[in-house]
Amino acid sequence: MNDYNQVMERKNQIMKDCVGIDYDQYEYGYHAFDYEAMMNDCGFTLNQVREIQSQYGVGSTPLKECKNITALVRSVSKPGYGARIFIKDEALNDSGSFKARRASIACYQAKQLGFKGVIAATSGNYGAAVASQAAKHGLKCIIVQECYDSNGIGQPEIIEKARACEAYGAEVVQLSVGPELFYKFLLLLEETGYFNASLYTPYGIMGIESLGAELIEDCLRQTGKLPSTVVCTNAGGGNLTGTARGIRKSTSARIEIIGASVNLKGLHMASDIDFNKKSFTTGHTGFGLPFMIHPDRSDVPRSAGRPLRYIDRYVTVNQGEVFFLTCRKHFFSGGFFDCTRNETG
């Protein structure tokens, strides 16, 4: 009953049992899918999300102006142009990244539904976030990592992030790249009866809507006006989707949404050969491009991360540019930039 094909045949039922969402009710014919109905039926308002997060050490992170980068931009811009550049410092969330926002609502929902524990499949930052929030909610936690290539060589950054997960009390299961991960993930969900704290459920996306709302409030408070452009790091699409939805819920003004990924052209996220050639485990085109065109390749039947519904422009940067900016502004974003136009621009 537990060979690969048999487990895959039970996938939809396993997912229904461990998330509490009947995805079939949102399907229409071969291609149509009622995304907004799925999001609305999950029952959290933006205010409720923010209240939950405030109780568990998540959100209300500072918006900081990157004055050195703003000066650099204006030094090469024509007179009257050059954005004021701000960054939302998501490293100040519990567990150190914006993914604490996603984990907070997933773990809260698991507790509300009576689950004893949560499981998440992740390379690192989200695992630490889920482990942290699970501990706060008194839930057991298993993190499943795609960690090793076929030669048994582990990706250094992923191995390091496993220590953070374990420090928060999670059990970490490390597997090889490829189909083994999803198979083992499904088996663990079925065997434990734990909640699937996936990045791509509506709960995971709703958790990021608070980020978009805070951006609007922070910009108005600090500059007296709305941002003209928001740049979101893009991998699986959840960051961009949730941020854009939070912005739309907070203002009717037209704000440009740009997705940005590290350009790792030719290095696929699921390639055993490519696995240890990447300096980044997420936020790169190996995730960004596949998930942009086929978001439902995730660990739920229908991903709530739908970047093409919200994105205005997609850009890539190289690894050196990321490292340069990291040093230039003296801290890493873990999230995205928020840009407002110069008053005279």
Give the sign of the dihedral formed by CA 139, CA 16, CA 283, CA 217: negative
Give the pLDDT confidence score for residue 273 in this predicted structure: 73
Higher-confidence residue of 251 and 16: namely 251
Cα–Cα nearest to 239, from 286, 179, 288, 278: 288
Give the pLDDT confidence score for residue 329 in this predicted structure: 42
Give the pLDDT confidence score for residue 269 in this predicted structure: 67
Residue 168 carries which side chain, given as an amino acid letter?
Answer: Y
Write the CATH number of the domain with boundaries 39-97+205-340: 3.40.50
Residue with tokens 């519990």: 94
Higher-confidence residue of 36 and 323: namely 36
* CA angle centred on 91, ends 277 and 118, rounded to 5°: 80
Residue 60 carries which side chain, given as an amino acid letter?
Answer: S
Write down the domain spans for the chain.
Answer: 39-97+205-340
DSSP-derived secondary structure for 107-125? HHHHHHTT-SEEEEE-SSH
Cα–Cα nearest to 104, from 207, 32, 30: 207
Across 227-244, average pLDDT: 94
The CB density around residue 314, as the number of other CB atoms within 10 Å, is: 17
Give the pLDDT confidence score for residue 337 in this predicted structure: 43
Ranges of beta strands (E only) in the chain are 27-28, 32-33, 63-65, 84-88, 117-121, 140-148, 171-176, 195-196, 229-233, 256-262, 313-317, 336-340
* Residues 6+ away with beta carbon under 8 Å from 89: 61, 62, 63, 64, 331, 333, 334, 335
What distance lies between CA 287 and its chain's CA centroid? 11
d(C-alpha 296, C-alpha 12), whole Å: 13
* CA angle centred on 296, ends 199 and 172, rounded to 5°: 35
Cα–Cα nearest to 313, from 200, 248, 246, 228: 228
Q: Show the tokens assigned to 272.
A: 């055993």
d(C-alpha 214, C-alpha 128), whole Å: 23
246-299 pLDDT, tens digit each: 999 999 999 999 999 998 887 766 676 777 666 677 788 888 888 999 998 888
| Alpha-carbon separation of residue 114 from 16, 110, 186, 193 (angstroms) | 15, 6, 20, 11
19-48 pLDDT, tens digit each: 989 898 999 887 889 999 999 998 899 999
Across 310-333, average pLDDT: 72
Residue 211 carries which side chain, given as an amino acid letter?
Answer: L
